[in-house]
Amino acid sequence: MTILGIDIGGSGIKGAPVDIHGGALADERFRVETPRPATPDAVLPVLTEVAAHWKDHNPAGVTFPGVVRHGVIGSAANLHPDWVGLDAARLFSEKLGRAVTVLNDADAAGVAEIAFGAGRNVRGVVLLITFGTGIGTALFVDGTLVPNTELGHLEIAGADAEVHASDRAREEGGLSWEDWAVNVERYLQHVERLLSPDLMILGGGVSKKADRFLPYVKVHTPVVPAVLQNNAGIVGAAMAASAHR
Ligand code: BGC
């Protein structure tokens, strides 16, 4: 049986059925641009459209780019604030006609990366950091997730870290990879001072271009690019849904 995974991101909403034992997509993924403003009313029809691509009624996992506590949205830095306080697990289950598990996007990517990617069999403190529209973090201790860490909002030099070190900051600021790497390095150094992780895994779209910036980033902690890259959120969402069954 495959389980549907859907990743709600700041720029796109993408889904695919997942073979959760193999950690791979079981079909080509389907993606629609995230509507702006990204209010619940605007996003819900898109979520339904993505899910309707697959006709079964198996459970589904959906990621959200904000704090998600037991299915309820706690923050929405890069989507509309109307999301805050919504019981997304209940709402999505009603709309999609399936049992839906909702979790933070970086946490979902981390769950997949720990099971099938760069964090596989790594003991100790592992931090996955996703660089996209925002910066997301997923913290694992001996493979167990500490959910909703939100370390992308650490204040560095008077600003929210994602203002300078997210991939959006690179694109919108027209920064070269080398210049952006300076901001990433400052961010990673700050994080390692706070957490002393055993491994940092860099995820999000930039993970497939790690050779462009990682050589310029000097930190003490081993740093590796994510292996599952942009599908990690979809795979992790499906894994979380499967664990909830
Ligand atoms: C949000 C996080 C999210 C990250 C990546 C941040 O702005 O606060 O919850 O994981 O962006 O989407």
User: Would the pTM of this model clear 0.85, i.e. be above it?
Assistant: yes
CA triple 106-170-46, angle to 5 deg: 50
Which superfamily does 119-231 belong to? ATPase, nucleotide binding domain (3.30.420.40)
Phi, psi of 92 (to 5 degrees): -65, -40
Q: Measured from the CA of 66, which atom of ligand 1 is nearest?
A: 9
Q: Is the CB of 65 under 6 A from ligand 1?
A: yes
The rounded mean pLDDT for the chain is 96
Contact (CB, 8 A) for 69 and 148 = yes
Residue ID of nearest Cα to ligand 1 atom 4: 136
Range 134-160 average pLDDT: 97
CB-based contact 113:233 (threshold 8 Å): no
Single-letter amino acid, residue 200? M
Residue 245 has pLDDT above 80, yes or no: no
Read off φ and ψ for residue 139, nearest 5 degrees: -105, 130
Per-residue pLDDT reduced to its tens digit, 129-146: 999 999 999 999 999 999
Q: How confident is the model at residue 23 (pLDDT cuts 50, 70, 90)?
A: very high
- For the beta carbon of residue 126, count every other beta carbon within 10 angstroms: 23
Whether ligand 1 lies within 6 angstroms of the CB of 75 is answered as: yes
68-69 and 125-131 strand pairing: unpaired
Helix (H, G, I), strand (E, B) or coil at 51: helix
**pLDDT value for 56:** 86
Rounded distance between C-alpha atoms, residue 142 and residue 234, angstroms: 23
> Which residues lie closer than 8 Å to 241 by C-beta, 6 or more apart?
3, 4, 5, 59, 60, 61, 99, 100, 101
Q: In the chain, what are the domain boundaries? A: 2-104, 119-231
In this prediction, residue 24 carries a pLDDT of 95
Does residue 87 surpass a pLDDT of 80?
A: yes
Please provide residue 196's backbone torsions phi and psi, each rounded to the nearest 5 degrees.
45, 55
CA–CA separation, 1 vs 194, rounded Å? 41
Residue 230 has pLDDT above 90, yes or no: no
pLDDT at res. 244: 80
Q: Do domains 2-104 and 119-231 have the same CATH topology?
A: yes
Give me the pLDDT at residue 229, please.
Answer: 79
- Helix, strand, coil shares of the chain as percentages rounded to 5? 40, 25, 35
Provide the CATH topology of domain 2-104: Nucleotidyltransferase; domain 5 (3.30.420)
Q: Is the minimum distance from the CB of 104 to ligand 1 under 6 angstroms? A: yes
> Ligand 1 center to residue 229 CA distance, Å?
16
| Index of the ligand 1 atom closest to the CA of residue 106 | 10
Bridge pairing between strands 12-19 and 30-33: antiparallel
Q: Is the CB of 136 under 6 A from ligand 1?
A: yes
At 176, the pLDDT band (50, 70, 90 cuts) reads very high
pLDDT digit string, tens, across residues 32-82: 999 999 999 999 999 999 999 998 889 999 999 999 999 999 999 999 999
> What is the distance in A from the centroid of ligand 1 to the CA of 122?
24
Q: Provide the token pair at 9.
A: 């991101």
In the DSSP assignment, the letter for residue 152 is G
Pairing between strand 155-156 and 144-146? unpaired
